[in-house]
Every structure is written in structure tokens, then in C-alpha cells.
Amino acid sequence: MSTLAVARRALLRLGWSSSAAPSLLLALSAAGLGGCVVSDKSDDSGAVSGGDGADEGAGEDGADGVDGAGEDGADGADGADGSDGSDGTEDTEWGYSGDIGPEYWGELDEEWAACAEGEAQSPIDITGELITTSPEPGPVLGWGPTTLRAYNPGHYIRYEVDSGSTLTWGGNTYELDQFHFHGLSEHTVDGTHFDAEVHFVHVDLASPTRLLVIAAFVIGYDESIPDPIFGADGALRFRDALALPEGETPIDLGGSVDLSEVFTGFPGAYPLGYSGSLTTPPCSEGVQFFISDLSMPMASVDLEAFLDVYDYNYRPVQPLNGRALTVYGVSEPG
């Protein structure tokens, strides 16, 4: 059975997608005709952190080190690059396998203790468990035109955008800072990975240490689909950026792109929200995640090129520890 078929079957069991939010399911159905990239890389690493017993307070304060470095962090945002980011933490080597792999992150640097001890960590496995609904709307996107800069900090390609692409949620305004991809997906659905996952990292304009990440599963299509970054006519295509050597200096990718058009519909009508963490060291908590019910389509040739380079930059799923998952925008019955 293909990855897609497995994922579709998993989604069918979820109230999230089967009743409240059919859009991802429909996308999967459509994709079933076009085929997809099938990844045979099974994830048997499972959850790595312990953390018995839920601490309902965990992940709520958002002040325990979200500032500073970190892949998902806001170190490019004004005001978010606190002193924590320049105290040597950035020099600690980490990775996705071996003795610097995810199960050791909490031991590699004293400032990364949350990776081992945190109880509201990301990513998570999405099952039907603990899913609730809310009539409150999910994030409302106000993404717009931007130029793009990219660099390779070591474990992924980071795409930085101009200021001005915002979203509103819960009365707060967040600004898109950067986006990046993980392969395979970090979040799973009933234990099943998607081929890749994109993270759009936003910073609360009123409180820059608070982050909001919109995540979406990436699904490959055999048919021709515009390049996920620049479209068919981009000066530098997605696949080219994958080859950027490791370095901290962003390069201008040339041209501009209207994010409101490239990522039409995100984050969908019924995003699934929960309070989590950075998925890379320092694993800081207080990061609000929204997992889009819409997948991000990508041409299989692009997806395969990505997976050739980044087929293992995902953190294994972490214990839910009693956290509720909320599907937003669902009207109360009756």
C-alpha cells in the first residue's frame, strides 16, 4: 500500500478530516489518481522522551527560551534574537541520528533540557484522541508579496520573507518570519508519516518571543505543478535552493512571489491547533501549532529532489501528555 493510501485510511478514522474537514481527504482522493512519491523509510523510532503525567501549565507561558536560536525559532525577527542566541548555544552540534540525534538533544546542551524534560513537545502523532472542536475561527492569513532569501543553517533550507505577511488569531497579530521543510513529515496521522511537511513560522508582533507555526503536509503529484516557491518561471527554483552549501549568509533568490497566491487556501477552513514546542533544539515550549487541513501539493520531481537531500530531518513524535487538540472554525451543533 502506498504512503498515500495508508495516510488516507488513517485520516478516514479521524473526526478531524472525515466529518469536520473533508478538504485534505478530498485532496488525498484526487491525489490517488495521480500517484505520489512513496517513501519506504519507515519511522520505527517512536517517541523518545519520557514525561509521565501531564502538566497543564507546560507550554503555556511561552517565555522559557523561545527567544534565541533554533531552527523553528525566530532568530531572524526583530526583537526575537535575545541574548540567549549568542551565548554559544548555536555552536553545539546536533543532528538527526547517532549520538547527537533527537534522543540526546536534551543532554547536549544545558539550555536544551526541554528536549528531554519538556511535557508539551512537538511534533505529535494525531489520532482521534483528545480532539475537540471550537467555533472560534482559526488563523486568518494576510500573506502578501515578498522577495525571498534562503540559506542552509545545516539541517534544512530556511526561506526568509519580507516583513508584512501577517496572520491574526485570538486577537493577536503575527508576522511570517520564515518557512522551511522537513522530510519525512514531523507530525504523523495514526502513526503514518507524509512525505514532507512545511512549517511557516510566525512571530507575535506584540510579544516577539511567542511563535505560531502553520504546518502542512506536503503531498507529491506526478502531474505538473508549479514550483512551490517561485512558480514555473522562477529565477531560482526550489530544487536549486536545495543545493545551497551550509552557511549563515542568506542569498537573494531573485524576483518576488505573492505568498497569498502560492499558498492559496492555507491554513484551510478547519486547522487543528495545539500548544507545542520548537521541533529542534532548544525545543522551547509555548509554540502554538496549527496543522492545516489542506495539504501542500508539490510536483513529485521536486519532492523527490528534496527527499534526496533531506529525507531525515524530522524529530520523532513526542508524548501528548493530555494536551487537547482543537479543530477551529467548527460551528456548534444545533
Vertex 176, ends 93 and 187: CA angle to 5°? 60
Question: In the 3-class helix/strand/coil scheme, how is 200-252 assigned residue by residue?
Answer: EEEEECCCCCCEEEEEEEEEEECCCCCCCCCCCCCCCCHHHHCCCCECCCCEE
CA 17 and chain centroid, separation: 18
Check: CB of residue 186 under 8 Å from CB of residue 122. yes
Half-sphere exposure of 239 (CA within 13 A, CB side): 13
Determine the interface stretch with Zn ion among 65-73, 144-152, 224-232, 267-275 (rule: CB under 5 A).
Answer: 65-73
Q: Which residue in the shown chain puts its C-beta closest to Zn ion? A: 199
Residue 149 or 180: which CB sits closer to Zn ion? Answer: 180
Residue 8 or 72: which CB sits closer to Zn ion? Answer: 72
Helix axes 3-12, 23-34, angle to 10 degrees: 150
Whether the ω angle into residue 271 lies within 30 degrees of 0, i.e. cis, is no
Determine the interface stretch with Zn ion among 31-39, 42-50, 68-76, 318-326 (rule: CB under 5 A).
Answer: 68-76
**Using rule CB under 5 A, residue 177 touches Zn ion:** no
Determine the interface stretch with Zn ion among 43-51, 66-74, 106-114, 145-153 (rule: CB under 5 A).
Answer: 66-74
Determine the interface stretch with Zn ion among 24-32, 72-80, 101-109, 264-272 (rule: CB under 5 A).
Answer: 72-80
Residue 8 or 149: which CB sits closer to Zn ion? Answer: 149
Least distance (Å) between residue 222 CB and Zn ion: 26
**Using rule CB under 5 A, residue 237 touches Zn ion:** no
Sequence-separated (6 or more) residues with CB below 8 Å from residue 289: 122, 212, 213, 215, 273, 274, 275, 276
DSSP 8-class letter at 39: P
**Using rule CB under 5 A, residue 199 touches Zn ion:** yes
Check: CB of residue 162 under 8 Å from CB of residue 149. no
**Using rule CB under 5 A, residue 315 touches Zn ion:** no
Least distance (Å) between residue 187 CB and Zn ion: 10
Number of residues binding to Zn ion, judged by CB under 5 A: 2
Check: CB of residue 113 under 8 Å from CB of residue 119. no
Least distance (Å) between residue 75 CB and Zn ion: 13
Least distance (Å) between residue 182 CB and Zn ion: 5
Residue 8 or 160: which CB sits closer to Zn ion? Answer: 160
Residue 72 or 111: which CB sits closer to Zn ion? Answer: 72
Check: CB of residue 59 under 8 Å from CB of residue 275. yes
Least distance (Å) between residue 4 CB and Zn ion: 22
Least distance (Å) between residue 255 CB and Zn ion: 25
**Using rule CB under 5 A, residue 72 touches Zn ion:** yes
Determine the interface stretch with Zn ion among 5-13, 30-38, 69-77, 281-289 (rule: CB under 5 A).
Answer: 69-77
Least distance (Å) between residue 243 CB and Zn ion: 20
| Nearest to 311, CA basis, from 158, 97, 127 | 97
Least distance (Å) between residue 42 CB and Zn ion: 21
Cα(320)–Cα(63) distance, integer angstroms = 20
Cell of 161: 520573507
Residue 72 or 125: which CB sits closer to Zn ion? Answer: 72
Which chain residues interact with Zn ion by CB under 5 A?
72, 199
